[in-house]
Structure 1
Amino acid sequence: MRLRLRHLPNAVTVSRIVLTVPIVWFMYRGDYWPALVLLAIAGLTDALDGYLVRRYGWSTALGAWLDPAADKILMLGVYLAVTLSGLLPLWLLFLVVGRDLWLTAGSLAYRHWVGPLQIEPLMISKVNTFFQILLVLGAILKVGILNLDPVWVHLLVVIVSLTTVFSGLAYTVVWGRRAWVHFFPPAGAGRGA
């Protein structure tokens, strides 16, 4: 079977999933330079697949599911490796994973009882992802490369904690309101509005 050009973004996305394994391995072993190089490449694949979809309209149903899944796999793998290496506290890993499990369970429940769920990334979620990435980079740079002042990493831990909680709450409120309107439509509106 030939790879069509419209499937190229999906292949790029899959490469990000594949890169997660050596990134996690290098980080766990404390080989931070190769891990950072592969993380940079993974970041470029994220930018590249998004560019290809926007520029050429090569979007697919698989890609709409695969891209956020690849991001989550990479992020959770990296957080697991950084935590197991002792660079970040275990409770933060539980918080990050717990938020993702909460949102996954919520989206499944919504789809089961309400219907299809249009997931639009909220600004707080984008902010959370940005600071999660910054925290991982800061933690690696602190011990492995630049010997940063730990106060910056501690500050990022606080910011990531807050944005993780707030983003989880924000999605819960947005989806909860939609479910409420579905089951209890305002007067004069039809069910499922």
Structure 2
Amino acid sequence: MVKKDLTIFNLPNVITIARIASVPVIIWFLFVGEFLSGFILFSIAGFSDFIDGWLARFQKTQTTFGAYLDPIADKLLMGSAYISLGLLGHIPLWLILLVIARDLLILLGVVAAWLMGRTLDIKPLLISKLNTALQICLVMLVLADLAFRLELGAMLDLAYLATAATTIASALAYLYLWVTTMLKQSSD
């Protein structure tokens, strides 16, 4: 349950804000070739995605602000990491386009529902949580490969495919949810 009366500066929201603040530093690390530093900071930022939500539920400090800010932080972190690593030639373009297309599909669905005057209860689906976890793990794997010269070629290929599969499944699940919600609201 999201509470509207709590301050926006509770611990979970501060963690989310810190995740957003880490994005330009991570990008800088990647472009100057400091992959170990990028790996460490990205890993902390990725782990914070789990921690902030867990803390908000555990402490009963969920806020509307946090409910909106957390997915924005996720998109900034993941989008920046994927685009940066793609520009550097470490993540294939097709996967970057797939990840961005899924996020745009979700955003367009929210905007379309709003323009139609419909309500859309946005809650992360289980497949979406799995997808986010795999996206984070993939970036960590790529950065670990670069930082420690692990030469994980085949493992990375498998990680690309697993991430792509959950990205497609998540997009289809959100599309199905959007269509059924819009149809239900139009019949009410």
What is the TM-score normalised by the length of structure 1?
A: 0.86
Distance (whole Å) between structure 1 residues aligned to residue 80 and residue 46 of structure 2: 14
Match of 1:148 in 2: 151
Deviation of 1:159 (Å): 1.3
Q: Which amino acid aligns with 2:155?
A: W
Distance (whole Å) between structure 2 residues aligned to residue 141 and residue 40 of structure 1: 10
Aligned length: 183
Matches within 5 A, 1:7-156: 7-156=10-159
Deviation of 1:44 (Å): 4.1
Match of 2:3 in 1: none
Give per-residue Cα distances to partners, 1:117-175, cap 9 Å, x unaligned. Answer: 11121121112112111211222222331423300101111111121111111100111
Distance (whole Å) between structure 1 residues aligned to residue 69 and residue 57 of structure 2: 16
Q: Which runs of 5+ in 1 are unaligned?
A: 186-190
Distance (whole Å) between structure 1 residues aligned to residue 154 and residue 47 of structure 2: 29
Distance (whole Å) between structure 1 residues aligned to residue 105 and residue 8 of structure 2: 36
Larger Rg: 1
Distance (whole Å) between structure 2 residues aligned to residue 6 and residue 140 of structure 1: 31
Q: Which stretches of structure 1, 4 residues or longer, exceed 4 Å deviation after superposition? A: none
Q: Is the 8 A contact 2:39 2:147 kept in 1?
A: no
Cα distance change of structure 1 residues 155 and 5 upon mapping to structure 2, 3 Å threshold = closer
Give per-residue Cα distances to partners, 1:68-126, cap 9 Å, x unaligned. Answer: 11111111111111111111111211111111011100111112215221112112111
Q: Is the 8 A contact 2:38 2:143 kept in 1?
A: no
Distance (whole Å) between structure 2 residues aligned to residue 57 and residue 50 of structure 1: 10
Q: Which runs of 5+ in 2 are unaligned?
A: 1-6
Q: Is the 8 A contact 2:16 2:48 kept in 1?
A: yes
Percentage identity across paired residues of the two chains: 36
Distance (whole Å) between structure 1 residues aligned to residue 42 and residue 80 of structure 2: 11
